[in-house]
Amino acid sequence: MANSKYEYVKLYEVEDEVMPPNIIVVRVDGRNFSRFSEAHEFVKPNCKKALELMNECARVVLEHFPDIIFSYGYSDEFSFVFKKETKFYQRRASKILSLIASFFTSVYVTKWKEVFPEKDLSYSPSFRARVILCASVEVLQAYLAWRQNECHLSNQYNTCLWQLIKCGKPEKEAQEMLEVEVCVKYKDDCYPIKRSKRRVTIVHMENIASRRFWNDQLYLLKELGHFSKDVNKTKTEYLKSFQYESRLLLSTWIVIRIDGCHFHRFSEVHKFEKPNDEAALNLMNSCAVGVLEEFNDIVFSYGVSDEYSFVLKKESQLYGRRASEIVSAIVSYFSSMYIMKWKDFFPHKEMMYTPYFDGRAVCYPSSQILRDYLAWRQVDCHINNQYNTCFWMLVKSGRTKSASQTYLKGTQVQDKNELLAQLSGATDYYNKLPPMFRLGSSVYRNKEEKKIVGDKEEGGSIDNICEKVVIEYCNIIEPSFWEAHSATIQING
């Protein structure tokens, strides 16, 4: 497809490939889970059902992504270990951590009702994620020892143990209830019978970083290597590297772009209308509104098809500008809402399987370049939409898919417009399509005057200016849009 003059903005995207032989570990961690567990009345201080839900999510993650071969979790966190030689998403850190955060969240929301049939989710739960690089199996061992030590050290463990004992549980049983879960993936050939799905085993282990446990797991030995000695104390320099996270450049616009993973298949399975499904696009937009309401630092967002770009203000200090935290929190929250809101937009369609998204963060140093980025996305929307509209009209008129593709090869905008007019019998057919299809969706805050009722003592109602998140379908390439909204969407300098 044609290139636009805005494509240069792609040069601002930086590579973040994790070089071998580093072992990739992704840790997901509940976002504001103390509030979430409070709101959903989790049993204090440890809720067995909530832990079971976490374990179930981890099990599904291991089943879904064959390159993840081990995971360890407690409380609201889980660490996923990839096999050493993984080529998963070309080892790109941001892609990997975002899609694991998204998938984990989607499964969490989907499985919620199975674990808590008596409780509705009162709002969307979300998780943050980060990548931890382990330069050798020795470092991985230190990492696992550290996480398990954190688990043992946590007050929750002891408090809960004490509570259970107080309630009459024998100590051993109480301990077992609180023991952490470890998922280990075995190869198919561990089975006498060949099966297509790999087996995920959940074990409770006192010490996962011990040689005694690890070196007995043949699959782990093969993919990651053995532990040569037991660890007593994690080295300080290792701890520093586990905690290190890079920050995005100051005084730049941060754009988080999320994109549906394998949405080509997802839209086929769910029979989305071609080329544009109004309900599917409205669902995406509604999730974007939710994201803007949740994250105050987002000043503008633009969506098309299965992707959304969220622009954070230049001065944003969200998560100390740590890229992985920002990307994962936004993509996870979006995914959570996508699952929760599905029924509102598709009341008669079952969700057949769990969708998920990936995300990345890119910094743009000036408002002009940021606007060029947004223009690039809108030009892309136009080019794809015009092509797809022609393509599906040709298919509907009786051509095969490959004949339609060949027919459209090398055609220009004018040719496509003429073709559409000819096939539809309507002049200017393309420009009469709904603006949401042609222009994509812009979501931002608008100031509006609102009358609100004041205190009784103060008497009467008072006028107030309040901000409301709106969805518009407009041309964001033209400067006029930005000039007209300069007071509300502050994208200058």
CA distances for 66 relative to 58, 128, 187, 355, angstroms: 13, 22, 9, 17
Residue 261 as a binder of ligand GTP (CB under 6 A): the answer is yes
Residue 355 as a binder of ligand GTP (CB under 6 A): the answer is no
b/e burial code for range 23-62 (CB count within 10 A of at least 16 → b): bbbbbbbbbebeebbeebebeebbbeebbebbbbbbbbbb
CA dist 189 and 198 (Å) reads 9
423's CB contacts (< 8 A; 6+ apart) are: 393, 394, 397
CA dist 118 and 31 (Å) reads 23
Within 259-278, the residues that bind Mg ion by CB under 5 A are 259-260, 263
CA dist 425 and 125 (Å) reads 49
Closest contact distance (angstroms) between CB of 470 and ligand GTP is: 21
Closest contact distance (angstroms) between CB of 312 and ligand GTP is: 22
Closest contact distance (angstroms) between CB of 67 and ligand GTP is: 16
Residue 259 as a binder of ligand GTP (CB under 6 A): the answer is yes
Residue 361 as a binder of ligand GTP (CB under 6 A): the answer is no
CB atoms under 10 Å from CB of 123, counted, come to 15
Per DSSP, the three-state class of 479 is: helix
96 binds, among Mg ion, ligand GTP, none (CB under 5 to 8 A by kind): none
281's CB contacts (< 8 A; 6+ apart) are: 303, 436, 437, 441
Residue 280 as a binder of ligand GTP (CB under 6 A): the answer is yes
264 binds, among Mg ion, ligand GTP, none (CB under 5 to 8 A by kind): ligand GTP
Within 202-221, the residues that bind ligand GTP by CB under 6 A are none
**For ligand GTP, what does the binding mask look like between residues 393 and 432, x meaning CB under 6 A?**
----------------------------------------
272 binds, among Mg ion, ligand GTP, none (CB under 5 to 8 A by kind): ligand GTP
Residue 263 as a binder of ligand GTP (CB under 6 A): the answer is yes
CA distances for 363 relative to 3, 248, 263, angstroms: 22, 7, 26
**For ligand GTP, what does the binding mask look like between residues 296 and 325, x meaning CB under 6 A?**
---------xx-------------------
Closest contact distance (angstroms) between CB of 111 and ligand GTP is: 23
Selected from 213, 272, 334, 345, the binder of ligand GTP by CB under 6 A is 272
Closest contact distance (angstroms) between CB of 281 and Mg ion is: 14
CA dist 128 and 30 (Å) reads 6
Selected from 92, 274, 341, 399, the binder of ligand GTP by CB under 6 A is 274
Scanning the structure block, which residue is given the tokens 């006498």? Answer: 192
Scanning the structure block, which residue is given the tokens 């930005």? Answer: 482
Task: Give the binding-site size for ligand GTP (rule: CB under 6 A).
Answer: 17
User: Distance of alpha carbon 281 from its chain centroid, rounded?
Assistant: 18
274 binds, among ligand GTP, Mg ion, none (CB under 5 to 8 A by kind): ligand GTP
Task: Give the binding-site size for Mg ion (rule: CB under 5 A).
Answer: 4
CA dist 311 and 302 (Å) reads 9
Per DSSP, the three-state class of 72 is: strand
Residues at the contact surface with Mg ion, assessed by CB under 5 A: 259-260, 263, 306
Binding residues for ligand GTP (CB under 6 A): 259-264, 267, 272-277, 280-281, 305-306
